[in-house]
Structure 1
Amino acid sequence: MLRLLSLLGGKGVPLLFVGVFIGLLLPGLANLLRPLLAPSVVLLLLFSLLRVDWQQVGTYLRRPLLTGGLVAWMLLASPVLTWAALAGVPLPSGLETAVILMAAAPPILGATAIALLLGLDGALTLVVGLISTLLAPVTIPPLSLWLLGLDLAIGTGELMLRLGGVVLLALLGALAIRAWLGSAWLRRNGVALDGMIVVIMLLFAVAIMDGVTETLLAQPAQVLLWLLAAFLANPALQAITMLAFWGFGRRLAMSAGLLAGNCNMGLLLATLSPDENFDVVLFFAIAQLPMFMLPAMMRPLYRRLLAPQQAST
């Protein structure tokens, strides 16, 4: 089993690319796996916590200005810049709302797993992702009201409890497994852990596509426009963030860019009614495609940009 997981861990990025197409081509399977969405989020964070070097995590916690600046960029600067950029663009109101809400959402909890597969800074993505996720209930409601006039239905306290439950469950599970297996075993089997992360992300990628195929067949023009917007917004947020933090080093800047472009829209789905916010919910589902496809498409670029820094170390 460990050998098979190690094999999958070495092929993680291309397998994630394939995963979303499985969900689109096999809508019945996507529907069947839909109940696994919530558990997969917890497990993904748990295995990411097992895989990360906690000494590096401590390094970023001891740099509060840098860490705080990155969190503020993810939760405040990104949505405000996105809102300003779209001010003069003639987009359907539902699509504009969805893109701005995407930028306001915290990074996906699986960003650490993707960062590790790409050779980026997993510790940075974990620290900034966790803090952003915990603060999101405080920042998203006022930003939504200020930028969009949108009053999210769920209370801040309830949303904080939901997010905190996910993080706490994964953290306790990771601590228990680390105490049971030991740090040395986890280091020796790091690639196998990557393989487990890939399996969980594949399940998530297939399950999140539930309903997208039916909508594509019924409303192809709208889906294609929403898809184009998703493939523009994700790399645009990554590129702007990379440029903003380039002075801190290429690896850090690319890791920050990965966080900014891959946003946890699943958290916002709990606040929106699909019947009243169909356009927004549809975009949140379609926006999963670039999240799982772009890492494979951009991997050669990551390697090229990282090469000079790796050669100098």
Structure 2
Amino acid sequence: MTPAFASLSRALATMGRYGTLGFAISIFVGLALPGLASTMRPVLPFSIFVFVVLTFARADLAGVRRALKQPGRVALSWLWVTAAMPVMVLIALAVVGRAAVDPGLLLGLALVAASPPLMGFAAYTSLLGMDNSVPVALLVLTMAVTPLVSPPLATLVAGAVVPLDPAVLSLRLLWMLGGAFLGAFALRRLVGPARIAALKHEFDGVFVVLYLVFAIAAMDGVIAAALASPAKVALYLVVATLTCVTGLAVTMLVLWRLGRPDSFVLGLGSGMRNTGLLIVAMGAACPPDTYLFFSLLQFPIYCAPLAVAPLAKWVRNASAPAPAS
């Protein structure tokens, strides 16, 4: 290993070990560089593609197989992370009235409801010291059916507000995810699962760098919108935060009998959604207000690992077996 490569490896590993703090810092770095955001926005699709490739290249297939030995548990978990958020959004829209919601915000909520769990869902779970075998299994399952499930879910929630034909959206998602799966397979064959596992902290560091790139790209237009329409930005930020918090809280309450760790992990997947996947698939058809909501949604998502770390510690401690007397 050359000295330059060794230094890069150490730097990535250090970032990976402090991943929860790195994620939180990334979003504010992105916000602090508005001039760079518009330049980086075209990189958004590439960063999401790389997220998918690396996530599945790093997948612990043995852990996935262990999780799939409990098909009832996995099926219930998949059903919950797929259906819970659409149901919660539909209930909220019924309470406030669909007509009272801006079309751009309505579409943003529909995309949140229709999206699979965040790609960082399994990484967040690992960073918080939790078992991520079920999250990885859920990511495999949800991503596999996303082209079929997400477009009709978005149409169900948003109705005529969706500016793209569901069949076109499905095809774009299929091409994107299919290419990412092939890329992940090639990377596993080239590097090898054992070597990938040994470079855990380095890959965690790569994720932090990718999140920084993603944050800068996602912040395009946020500062300008905050100056022009501060009330709208504040409303969108509150709604974005509520979707994440409600997804976690409701899941932990409803699925409490599954055990604290399972309900907590599923809460992360229910509250933090991979909305960027659908934003990228929509491309130029995405309305500006919907993109603004997507941008503001990154604040609770990026701060989540740091914010919920005390809750994760409580869950771990409460679930630990009592010491033998």
TM-score (norm 1): 0.88
Residue of structure 2 in register with 1:55 after alignment: 62
Task: Tell me which residue corresponds to 2:87.
Answer: 80
State the AA in 2 paired with 1:164.
L
CA distance in 2, matches of 1:312, 1:134: 40
Contact 1:274–1:281 (8 Å) recurs in 2 = no
1:306 is matched with which residue: 294, 316, 319? 316
Q: 23, 47, 67: which is aligned to 1:16?
A: 23
Match status 1:210 vs 2:220: yes
Q: How does 1:104-115 map to 2 (within 5 A)?
A: 104-115=114-125
Q: Distance in 2 between matches of 1:101 and 1:280?
A: 9
1:65 aligns with 2:50: no
- 2:109 is the alignment partner of 1:99: yes
Single out whichever of 7-16 and 186-195 deviates more from structure 2.
186-195
Q: Which amino acid aligns with 2:311?
A: L
Change (3 A) 1:126 1:293: same
Q: 1 CA distance for matches of 2:28 and 2:138?
A: 30
Corresponding position of 1:295: 305
Following the alignment from structure 1 to structure 2, what is the Cα–Cα distance between the partners of residues 61 and 142? 27
Instruction: Report the secondary structure of 2:95's partner residue.
Output: coil
Measured after TM superposition, the shift of residue 274 of structure 1 is 6.0
How far residue 106 of structure 1 moved from its aligned partner, in angstroms, is 1.6
Which residue of structure 2 lines up, in the alignment, with residue 248 of structure 1? 258
Q: Which residue of 1 aligns with 2:11?
A: 4
Q: CA deviation at 1:310?
A: 4.0
* Aligned-pair CA distance for 1:222: 0.7
Secondary structure of 2:308 counterpart = helix
Q: Which amino acid aligns with 2:25?
A: V
| Residue pairs, 1:123-134, within 5 angstroms | 123-134=133-144
Residue of structure 2 in register with 1:262 after alignment: 272
Task: Tell me, yes or no, if structure 1 residue 139 matches structure 2 residue 139.
Answer: no
Per-residue deviation at 1:145?
4.0
Distance apart, 1:157 and its partner CA = 4.2
**SS of equivalent residue, structure 2 residue 282:** coil
Q: What residue number does 1:184 align with?
A: 194
The Cα shift of 1:166 comes to 3.1
Q: Which digits, 9 at most, give the CA deviation of each residue in 1:280-310, with x for residues without a partner?
A: 3321221111111122111121112112324
The answer for the alignment partner of 2:282 in structure 1 is 271
CA distance in 2, matches of 1:75, 1:12: 27
Q: CA deviation at 1:204?
A: 1.0
Q: Alpha carbons of 1:175 and 1:146: their partners in 2 closer, same or farther (altered >3 Å)? A: closer
Return the alpha-carbon distance in structure 1 between the equivalents of residues 298 and 115 of structure 2: 14
CA distance in 1, matches of 2:34, 2:210: 18
Count of equivalent residues: 312
Unaligned runs of 5+ in 2: 1-7
**Equivalent position of 2:205 in the other structure:** 195
Return the offset for 1:97: 4.7
Percent of aligned pairs with the same residue? 33
1:199 corresponds to which letter in structure 2?
Answer: V
Q: 1:55 & 1:170 partners in 2: Cα distance?
A: 21
Q: Which amino acid aligns with 1:271?
A: M
Which deviations, in whole Å up to 9, do the C-alpha atoms of 1:237-263 show, x marking residues without a partner? 111122233322322222211111111
**Structure 1: which amino acid aligns with 2:92?**
A
CA–CA distance in structure 2, aligned partners of residues 67 and 154 of structure 1: 32
Cα 1:98–1:183 shift into 2, 3 Å? closer
Cα drift, residue 64 of structure 1? 3.1
